[in-house]
């Protein structure tokens, strides 16, 4: 029996699959700031034609202009993933997209016993309902076109553990982890992969209030084994990896970028 890396008794070495995304179209939601914008920058740098989507057109245009100035391809799509029908229509009109990064998300933190139905619905509408039907819409487009793809939902370490004041947020992210696994099973035969990225606390506009509270900041730093909060750059490599052929056998799983938070 021949060794898999030997031909005619001459050794051939395995080749690292490409991380490059040339020829791929990527839709990035939540791209007006924070993690979403960072992921858009990363995918564009690796050759993808990116479509930046969010509710705030001015910030999208500014980012797109910067990317174009670097010789990269960037379009803008004003989109609210909480509006499921509008999202389905937009994806059908502008797709198919080979890559999805869904970074649209919201949070309303409070003690569980103080949760209002309004806050519950607001978080679930974006984090769960929006993410579910956005994933569905991009997958439908790929299946209709007979194309493979990579769908990535920005979840959270809070999709794997609990946290004070975060019952609703945790519920939404645990649910994202669940539908990601189920969709991976169904989409696998179409060579469409779906995964999550699960960051710890990343310093963004959304998390700024947490870091301004000394008690909460101390709690965060105590739980993160690497001893620092996250920055958006910590997410960029994972986004490129999951989007690329380097992750060709990765589906239905979560990439933890949590500084060791969930290790104990």
List the catalytic residues. Answer: 169
Among 84, 80, 29, residue whose Cα is nearest residue 53 = 29
Distance CA 1, CA 145 (A): 40
Distance CA 55, CA 73 (A): 20
Residues 6+ apart with CB under 8 A from 53: 27, 28, 29, 30, 31, 60, 76, 77, 78, 79, 81, 90, 104
CB-facing half-sphere around the CA of 26: CA atoms within 13 A: 40
Cis amide linkage into residue 96, ω under 30° from 0 = yes
Burial degree of 97 (CB within 10 A; 0-12, 13-18, 19+): buried
Among 156, 257, 148, residue whose Cα is nearest residue 194 = 148
Among 96, 99, 91, residue whose Cα is nearest residue 47 = 99
What is the per-residue DSSP string for 39-50?
HHHHHHHTT-EE
Contact 79, 53 (CB under 8 A): yes
Q: Residue 258 corresponds to which tokens in the numbers above?
A: 């949590």
Contact 102, 152 (CB under 8 A): yes
């Amino acid at each position: 029996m021949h060794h898999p890396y030997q031909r005619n008794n001459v050794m051939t070495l395995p080749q690292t699959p490409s991380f490059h995304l040339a020829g791929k179209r990527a839709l990035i939601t939540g791209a007006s700031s924070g993690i979403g914008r960072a992921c858009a920058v990363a995918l564009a740098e690796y050759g993808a034609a990116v479509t930046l989507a969010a509710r705030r057109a001015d910030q999208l245009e500014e980012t797109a202009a910067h990317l174009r100035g670097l010789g990269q391809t960037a379009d803008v799509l004003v989109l609210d993933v909480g509006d499921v029908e509008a999202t389905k229509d937009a994806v059908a009109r502008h797709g198919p997209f080979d890559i999805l990064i869904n970074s649209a998300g919201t949070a309303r933190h409070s003690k569980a016993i103080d949760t209002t139905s309004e806050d519950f619905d607001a978080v679930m509408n974006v984090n769960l309902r929006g993410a579910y039907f956005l994933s569905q819409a991009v997958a439908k487009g790929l299946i209709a076109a007979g194309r493979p793809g990579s769908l990535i939902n920005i979840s959270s370490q809070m999709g794997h553990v609990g946290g004070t004041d975060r019952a609703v947020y945790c519920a939404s992210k645990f649910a994202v982890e669940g539908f990601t696994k189920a969709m991976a099973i169904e989409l696998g035969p179409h060579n469409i992969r779906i995964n999550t990225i699960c960051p710890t606390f990343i310093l963004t506009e959304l998390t700024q209030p947490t870091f301004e509270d000394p008690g909460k900041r101390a709690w965060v730093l105590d739980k993160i084994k690497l001893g620092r909060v996250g920055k958006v750059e910590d997410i960029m490599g994972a986004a490129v990896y999951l989007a690329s052929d380097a992750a060709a056998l990765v589906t239905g799983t979560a990439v933890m970028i949590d500084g060791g938070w969930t290790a104990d």
